[in-house]
Chains A and B, each alone.
Chain A
Amino acid sequence: MIVSIASGKGGTGKTTVAVNLALALSHVQLLDCDVEEPNVHLLLKPEVNQVKPVCVSIPRINEELCNHCGKCAEFCEYNALFVSAEKVLVFPELCHNCGGCAIICPNHAIVEEKHQIGRIKMGIAGKAELVYGELEVGEPMSVPIIREVKKQIDRSKNVILDSPPGTSCPVIETVRGSDFCLLVTEPTPFGLHDLKIAVHVLKNMKIPFGVVINRAGVGDKKVYEYCKEEHTPILLEIPFQRRIAELYSRGIPFSQEMPEWKEKFQTLFNQIERQDTK
Chain B
Amino acid sequence: MKQITVLSGKGGTGKTTITASFAVLAKNAIIADCDVDAPDLHMLLHPQIMETNKFKGSELAVIDEAKCTKCGLCREKCRFDAITENFQVAPLACEGCGVCTIVCPASAVTLTERISGHAYISKTKYGLMAHAMLSPGESNSGKLVTLVRQNAKILAEKENADFIIIDGSPGIGCPVIASVTGVDVGLAVTEPTMSGIHDLERALQLLKHFNVPPIVCINMYDINGDNTEEIIRFCEKSGVQVAGKIPFNPIVTEAMVEGKPVQEYALGSDVAQEIGAVWKSILSVLGI
Contact = CB atoms under 8 A, between A and B. Distances in A.
B244 to A, nearest CB: 19
A37 B172 contact: yes
B137 A168 contact: yes
A83 B191 CA distance: 46
Interface in A221-278: 242, 245-246, 248-251
A114 B119 CA distance: 36
Interface in A157-208: 164-172, 176, 188-190, 193-194, 197-198, 200-201, 204-205
27 contacts: A10-B12, A11-B12, A37-B10, A37-B172, A39-B10, A39-B198, A39-B199, A42-B198, A75-B102, A77-B96, A103-B99, A137-B172, A137-B206, A138-B177, A140-B173, A141-B174, A164-B171, A166-B170, A167-B37, A189-B40, A193-B38, A194-B40, A200-B136, A200-B137, A248-B195, A249-B194, A250-B227
A12 interface: yes
Q: Give the interface size class of chain B.
A: 35 or more
Given A37-B170, A172-B92, A249-B227, A188 B195 contact: no
B142 interface: yes
B194 A218 contact: no
Contacts of B195: 15, 37, 39, 42, 248, 251
A97 interface: yes
A12 B103 CA distance: 44
Nearest to B192: A249
Contact of B223 (A12, A189, A246): A246
Given A103-B102, A204-B136, A204-B137, A141 B173 contact: yes
Given A189-B43, A218-B250, A251-B195, 6 more contacts: A9-B12, A36-B172, A37-B195, A42-B194, A167-B134, A167-B136
Contacts of A126: none
